[in-house]
Chain A
Amino acid sequence: MTETTATTELREPPHLSDATPGRAQLGRVGDFLLRSILPLVLAVGTGSIVLVAIGVDPIQYYKDVYSGGVQFAAWQDSLMRVAPLLLIAVGLIVAFRAGIWNLGMDGQFLLAAAVISGIGSRFEEHLPNTINLVVLFLIAGAVAAAWTIVPAVLKARYELNEIITTLMMTFIGINLAQILVKGPFQDPSTTTPQTRALDFSALLPSIPGTESSTRRWPGVHVGVVVALIAAFVVWFLLSRTSLGLRLQVLGASTRSARHMGLDVPRLIIVTFLLSGMFVGFAAATEILGVKGYQRADWDPAFGLSVVPLVFLARLHPIGVIPYVVLLSLASIGGDYAAQNAGLTPKFTLLLVGLTLIYMALTEWIARRAELGGSYFPGASYRRQRASGTG
């Protein structure tokens, strides 16, 4: 590798410099259509075939998804679902950009949710509402971030594979959340294992103008705005600050990062903490904005279904927003459509999985046709490590 290529790689994010020849061949629009739209279309197409096979009219089903996700104030639910999904996506983007597989998001999410739904009802008596909400948000972020410390330190110090450790922390976290909900945070007034519900006035306020006449629900909570701000902050952080550049370098090649004199262990820990923090915020929006309490058996398992979106957006925190909106619509509307068609809401999950499979297929075709670009910026780094001493 010559001096010049090394410097261009440093100046540009590695996955973008990978993509340069492809952009020239395919053009921006073609590239977008191929990578960001085609997998979705193929997944919906395959999903329709599956629906026909089990005797459901796909057109009616997708119509129901639309009406169940948008009409009759359902758009409120869909918009509110955007908040946790987007925050989790942002948390994953931070980690994935640095080449770190934080797969423990469900444990981080539930534990943070359990802690704030447990202590929230005790706090609300003592603090003014706004401060209370901010404090609870920060606590949720801190709890989820703390839950990544063990995998972070094990990876930073012993280069222990973070997939295994984050998965283990997820199991422990989910069980610990249940212990907390059934134990110290149990609502004394009921035998159902659940926390005391927060006072209605102690929940996140709604955005003015989002009230709906067809429903008593006050409106879309401000957690959505928080999530959007978070996406912009992370975009700025990743593309306009030195920390962002350092994360890119780490994600592209640990060896390069070391050669540049970066403090790799510290960088790994910072990445993990940031990633966990956003997952914690996601939990806060769901508890403080929608649920108000937590039942022991509640586990929305948002984590894995966000992964495809993050890659479809090629790890871009703002680019992921439309996909998150789409998934929110599909999951809220999917519940309704599935009920209408006498199915389980699992169909949405099937669509998400199929999208990911078609993305992999697209990736392969693009590679074969030498169109350049990649969903997986980490790929070049892994190839390097295969041949290196690493």
Chain B
Amino acid sequence: MTSVLAATDVFSEQALTALVAGAILAGVPLMFAALGELVSQRAGVLNIGLEGMMLMGAYAGFVAAYHGGTEWLGYGAGLLAGAGVSLLMVLFCVRWGLDQIVTGIAITLTCEGATGLIFEAEFAESRPTLGAADKVAVPVLSDLPVVGGKGESNGSIFTQPLIVYIGLGLAVVVAWVLRRTHMGLNVRAAGDAPGALDAAGVSVFATRSWAVLFAGAMAGLGGACLAIVSTGLFQDTIVGGRGFIAIVLAMLARGRPLWAILGAMLFGASLSIADWAQVAQINISTDLIFMLPFLLVLVVLVLFGRRAYLPAALALPYERGSR
């Protein structure tokens, strides 16, 4: 009898709503970062520094939101911080043609050291937290069961902070730009055939620089989301490998933004299921749930390895006139 009761509790509307909300909360920061990384990769720059850019964004976003009192200042600061860090990548990897992987690792290490150090020096005693971000309820739809989420503490699909909707909209815009516009064609050419792009009179350096800046800004925004929306605080382990997960997601999306969103949400869902299982006292290892998405992807890769696609000139510096 007790097990039946527990099962109905777990599948109650409230529990399911919490599950959906948790998936979004965990998925959105990943979505931003993966989206940025995807554009950068399409332009031929493998941005391993994503983890560091997210951390910097999380720190700047948190501090700005804390002192400024509004979440939007936080998002803006996160965006700028991420873009600022990616300037290093632009200079080193796009302009000077230095190794992208080494530069990326340097950025990640430096940002991890810097944010931990500065935060500790500034907030060692107080360890402040932010209030919950304001949520926007979509009219009508937010009244739906489970996915509506009106009045729930964490909302659901149709009751989320505005930034979530902005992110989803952005993904659609990026998908459209990459696929249907001249700008998108340039970005793809910078990754697939930089020589041809150069011959067509478009600067490979400029195209790649903008793509890397975009990636940095998105990673910073993702980090800010993580600090402001998902957790409401900053700690040095806040990003905890999500930058690397986003890199993997972007690569697995094979250049298609909508797949990156799907991947981010799937990963968010697995994080959320872990919490949900714990609350529901289902005896299943959270570690197992965390590794399931990757295990799944790896099985797919082993089975369909041939179909993996990456831009031809990924991680290769472009040098004018070199053969």
Interface residues in chain A, defined as those with a beta carbon under 8 Å from any beta carbon in chain B: 50, 54-56, 101, 150, 153-154, 157-158, 160-161, 163-165, 167-172, 175-176, 178-179, 182-183, 304-305, 307-308, 311, 342-344, 346-354, 356-357, 359-361, 363-364, 367, 375-376, 378-379, 382-383, 385-387
Contacts and interface: CB of A to CB of B under 8 A. Distances in A.
Contacts of B244: 167, 170-171
The residue among A50, A172, A307, A367 with the most chain B CB atoms within 10 A of its own CB is A172
Given A167-B247, A349-B116, A172 B298 contact: yes
B110 to A, nearest CB: 3
13 contacts: A50-B114, A158-B305, A168-B294, A171-B241, A172-B295, A175-B290, A179-B287, A347-B113, A350-B109, A356-B109, A386-B317, A386-B319, A387-B195
Interface of B: 46, 48, 88, 92, 96, 98-99, 101-103, 105-118, 120-121, 124, 194-195, 236, 241, 244-245, 247-248, 251-252, 285, 287-288, 290-291, 294-295, 297-298, 301-302, 305-306, 308, 310, 313-319, 322-323
Given A164-B252, A386-B322, A353 B288 contact: no
B305 A357 contact: no
A305 B109 contact: yes
Given A161-B310, A349-B113, A353-B108, A360 B99 contact: yes
A170 B322 CA distance: 36
B247 A50 contact: no
A379 B297 CA distance: 31
B133 to A, nearest CB: 27
B287 A176 contact: yes
Given A50-B117, A304-B108, A349-B113, A385 B88 contact: no
A168 B285 contact: no
A168 B117 contact: no
B316 A382 contact: yes
A367 B98 CA distance: 10
Contacts of A179: 285, 287-288
Contacts of B314: 161
Given A164-B252, A172-B291, A386-B316, A356 B106 contact: yes
Given A304-B105, A353-B109, 13 more contacts: A154-B302, A158-B308, A169-B298, A171-B291, A307-B102, A308-B109, A343-B121, A350-B114, A353-B106, A353-B107, A353-B114, A363-B98, A383-B316
